[in-house]
Amino acid sequence: DAKTTQPNSMESNEEEPVHLPCNHSTISGTDYIHWYRQLPSQGPEYVIHGLTSNVNNRMASLAIAEDRKSSTLILHRATLRDAAVYYCILREGNSGGSNYKLTFGKGTLLTVNP
């Protein structure tokens, strides 16, 4: 299984940008990069995903390195509600197919200071 490496924890101040890194040096050419987050005592929430190009949505941006061996989730202005565990996951399975499963690592615990 392609694995990811993330820092155990990071800290940020409210209203400042946050860059959450993820290393995935064994990524294969068909693996998508997914990011989920989990607030305390809740199920995970989809944040963003991408393949090669950088992606933006209303929640965050995803910057993918040219060699795809790493990526960075960017929260442009952190709020207290962004405090959560952020998981970087490689989607297993064939590209374009729906037969995949998500394997969660330990993630990064983001603390946001007021």
Partner 1 sequence: GAVVSQHPSRVICKSGTSVKIECRSLDFQATTMFWYRQFPKQSLMLMATSNEGSKATYEQGVEKDKFLINHASLTLSTLTVTSAHPEDSSFYICSARAGTGGYEQYFGPGTRLTVT
44 binds partner 1 per the rule CB under 8 A: yes
61 binds partner 1 per the rule CB under 8 A: no
53 binds partner 1 per the rule CB under 8 A: no
C-beta closer to partner 1: residue 24 or 91 = 91
C-beta closer to partner 1: residue 43 or 114 = 43
| DSSP-based three-state secondary structure for 59 | coil
C-beta closer to partner 1: residue 42 or 53 = 42
30 binds partner 1 per the rule CB under 8 A: no
Structure-token match 């509600």, residue found: 81
Q: Per-residue contact track with partner 1, 95 to 114, x per CB under 8 A?
A: ---x--xxxxxxx-------
To 5 degrees, how large is the angle CA 48–CA 33–CA 58? 10
77 binds partner 1 per the rule CB under 8 A: no
Among 1, 8, 41, 53, the residue binding partner 1 under the rule CB under 8 A is 41
C-beta closer to partner 1: residue 15 or 46 = 46
Cβ-proximal residues to 57 (8 Å cutoff; 6+ apart), any chain:
48
Torsion of CA 22, 24, 25, 28, to 10 degrees: -150
Cβ-proximal residues to 95 (8 Å cutoff; 6+ apart), any chain:
29, 30, 31, 32, 51
